[in-house]
Each structure stands twice: as C-alpha cells, then as structure tokens.
Amino acid sequence: MRMNKYSASMVSHAFWMDEFSEYIDLVNEGMSEEEIRSKSIDDNYFKQSSKSRARDMFNVLSKRVNSLDKDLITLFPSLDIQNQRLVNLISIMNINTLFKEFMYETYRDELIVGDEKLNDYEVEGFFNQKMQESDQVAQWTEKTIGRLRSVFKTFVREAGLMKDHGDYDDVIRPLIDFRLEDSLRTNQNNEALAIFLGR
C-alpha cells in the first residue's frame, strides 16, 4: 500500500475566493505574513464570526498563498476572474495531495476521453480506489468520505470547471490566460498544466 500523506481537513474549508483575492492584494501591497495575521485575527479583516474561525481561515489562506510561486502572486491581479479562480484551485491542489490526485486522475480523465460528464459513481470510484491504496483513507468514516466528495465537487464547480446537473456534472475545459500558462511552464507545474489542458 502507498503511504501518501492524505488529509481530510478540507471538509471544514470553503473555496474562499474573495478572501483569497484580498489576501493576495495585501501581499502585493507589501504586507508581511505576520502583519496579515494580525489584521485577520485582531482586526477581523475577513469578517469571521469568532477569533478561532478567523485564525483557522488565516492559517488556510496563508498556506494556499505561500504555496504559489512569487510571479503567480504578482500576475494574479491582472488576470480575469476565471483565471483567478484557477490560481486559487492551484493553491488548493498544492496543499492537498488527495484533491490534486482527484483533479489529475478524475477531472483530467474526463477532458482526455472527451466524455466531459462526471457522474457521481465516478467520484465514488475515485474514493474507493484510494481506500484500497491507502490505509489512512481506508480508516476514514463513510461520513468523512461523503463530506470530502461533496467538498471536492463544490470546489471544482466554484472554480468554474464543472456545472451541476444533479447526478452528474458537465466538465468544462478552462480558457487559460497565456500568461498563467507561461508561469506554470516556467515553474514546471506540469501536473496543473496537464489537468487544465487535459493531456
């Protein structure tokens, strides 16, 4: 069995597109991570219901943004909203191995095959496969797996890459800004390129 380090922490996270954009704006204004931390927790910059939620959101957003190459952070404000969503998705894949594998093995396959319909049973099939490959995933409860299935689909939909039709999703091929594509090539993020280009 493979010993990949997986995490189910995404069940308590959201796509947080607006907050992700605001965090990058602060970075591009020259604020340090510590200053952003203080602003988000002490000043409740992201308008969370409690200090602990503000702290959790800061921790996730800082991991996402820190996972990105500097030139991508600089490029971000000049991208259209669709490509900004892709950057957010890249940051989520960077910090969550299981989600990246879902995008590579399941979403990308739909683009390659050209079927471009993702059925619920195919999403279940992905998790069943991981349960066989990983002792860690095999130990998760059915409730946790169910919530992860739901979160994974929600994130891909919010990134504009799938459209919900009940028991299946239309898979949408993204229109990638050439500058984003160049940045991914330059930084050798070949998996993200393969996922978005379907190859």
pLDDT digits (tens, 9 = 90+) for 125-146: 999 999 999 999 999 999 999 9
Q: Look at residue 4 and tell me whether its pLDDT is greater than 90.
A: no
Structure tokens at 147: 């919530």
Q: Tokens 């898979």 belong to which residue?
A: 171
Q: Look at residue 148 and tell me whether its pLDDT is greater than 50.
A: yes
Mean pLDDT of the 77-102 span: 97
Q: Look at residue 1 and tell me whether its pLDDT is greater than 70.
A: no
Q: Look at residue 160 and tell me whether its pLDDT is greater than 60.
A: yes
> Would you say 90 and 192 are in contact if contact means Cβ atoms under 8 Å apart?
yes
Whole-number pLDDT of residue 30: 97
Task: Name the phi and psi angles at 32, rounded to 5.
Answer: -80, 165
Tell me the chain's radius of gyration from C-alpha atoms: 17
- Which residues, 6+ apart, have CB-to-CB distance to 33 below 8 Å? 62, 66
Q: Look at residue 63 and tell me whether its pLDDT is greater than 70.
A: yes
Q: Tokens 């079927």 belong to which residue?
A: 115
Q: Look at residue 194 and tell me whether its pLDDT is greater than 70.
A: yes
Residues in a beta bridge with 169? 118, 164
At 140, which amino acid appears?
Answer: W
